[in-house]
Amino acid sequence: MKWVTRERPKTDRIACPWLIKNFIDAEAEFLYVPTEQVLEVAEREGAHSYDAPNAEYTHRDGLCSFEVLLEEYKLDEPALQLLARIVHGADVADDRDATPQSRGLLAVAEGFHLLNLGDHRQLELSLPVYDALYAWCKNEVASAGESN
């Protein structure tokens, strides 16, 4: 399936593809287009739209797009929920301190954005950051379970 969002990705537009590839659609193809073309391209390509105005999966009810995808696909694994809080804080300006890790993820995401690598190259290089962060989240959740 194709998934389309705004070009020049930052936190949510990198985190969502990581989530989609790993938990929703392993064969996903990602399209980055100008903001005003997201819905048109989604319709033309039969793609899901995300993290764009009026997209199928976008910010709503105080949630970032990553959290909306978790909710929609009923992904309630505790490590993913922790990762979602980190992504939320990095993505939502009013909630920067949602977790202690959120500002660090924001710095990394902004740094990749500033490198001007091209959207797909940025995605390729950024995905391991989310792999590592997810591994950390799984360890945190397991450690919390052991201490109970």
Chain segment 96-106, per-residue pLDDT in tens:
999 999 999 99
Mean pLDDT taken over the chain? 96
pLDDT tens sequence across 123-135: 999 999 999 999 9
Instruction: Please compute the mean of the pLDDT values over residues 100-121 and round it to a whole number.
Output: 96
Distance CA 89, CA 97 (A): 6
Residue 145's pLDDT is 79
pLDDT at 147 over 90: no
Burial track 74-103 (b if 16+ CB lie within 10 A, e otherwise) = eeeeebbebbbbbbbbbbbeeeeebbebbe
Pairing of strands 48-49, 29-33: unpaired
Q: Could you list the residue range(s) of the whole structural domain that residue 108 is in? A: 2-146
Q: What is the pLDDT of residues 4-48, one digit of tens each?
A: 999 999 999 999 999 999 999 999 999 999 999 999 999 999 999
Domain count, the chain: 1
pLDDT of residue 11: 96
